[in-house]
């Protein structure tokens, strides 16, 4: 139902620190009609131009906080970090030199858990323009 909306064109760009590109980011939205704790995210899988992204190379940024993606998958990850409906979750891919500017094919798989229902799986593929 939400599959075509979870991967957004919003703010696709290289990430810079101290004058150097250290990666790139894409913004995604939740695949549910309301927000969820980050601990309810079961999987975020990205492929860019047909290449799968290593989960260890992903950082999640929301509400001014950053978390290594693999941390949110741990059983002891706190339940008080929330992903509100309508708010972007920035997925930062750590890659020296970032990504070349222009169009890239991105595939996102997002799996989330909700109370009393099976895991919701959303898959979206789009060509996005990176600045």
For 14-60, the pLDDT digits (tens) are 999 999 999 999 999 998 888 999 999 999 999 999 999 999 999 99
For the chain, the domain total comes to 1
Q: What helix, strand, coil percent values describe the chain, rounded to 5?
A: 10, 55, 35
Task: For residue 56, give its domain range.
Answer: 3-130
Other residues' Cβ atoms within 10 Å of the Cβ of residue 56 = 9
Q: What is the C-alpha to C-alpha distance for residues 28 and 78, in angstroms, rounded to an integer?
A: 21
Task: List the CATH number of the domain containing 64.
Answer: 2.60.40
Tell me the whole-structure pTM to 2 decimals. Answer: 0.91
What DSSP designation does 3 have? G
Chain position carrying tokens 């323009």: 129
Q: Is 126 exposed, middle or buried (0-12, 13-18, 19+ CB in 10 A)?
A: middle
Render pLDDT for 101-128 as a digit per residue (tens, 0 to 9): 999 999 999 999 987 778 889 999 999 9
């Amino acid at each position: 139902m939400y599959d075509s909306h979870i991967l957004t064109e919003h703010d696709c760009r290289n990430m810079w620190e101290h004058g150097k590109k250290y990666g790139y980011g894409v913004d995604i939205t939740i695949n549910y009609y309301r927000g969820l704790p980050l601990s309810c995210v079961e999987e975020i899988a990205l492929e860019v131009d047909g290449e799968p992204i290593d989960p260890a190379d992903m950082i999640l940024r929301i509400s001014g906080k950053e978390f290594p993606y693999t941390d949110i998958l741990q059983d002891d990850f706190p339940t008080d970090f929330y992903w509100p409906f309508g708010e972007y979750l920035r997925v930062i891919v750590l890659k020296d030199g970032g990504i070349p500017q222009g169009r890239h094919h991105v595939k996102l798989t997002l799996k989330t858990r909700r109370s009393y229902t099976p895991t919701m799986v959303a898959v979206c593929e789009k060509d996005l323009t990176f600045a």
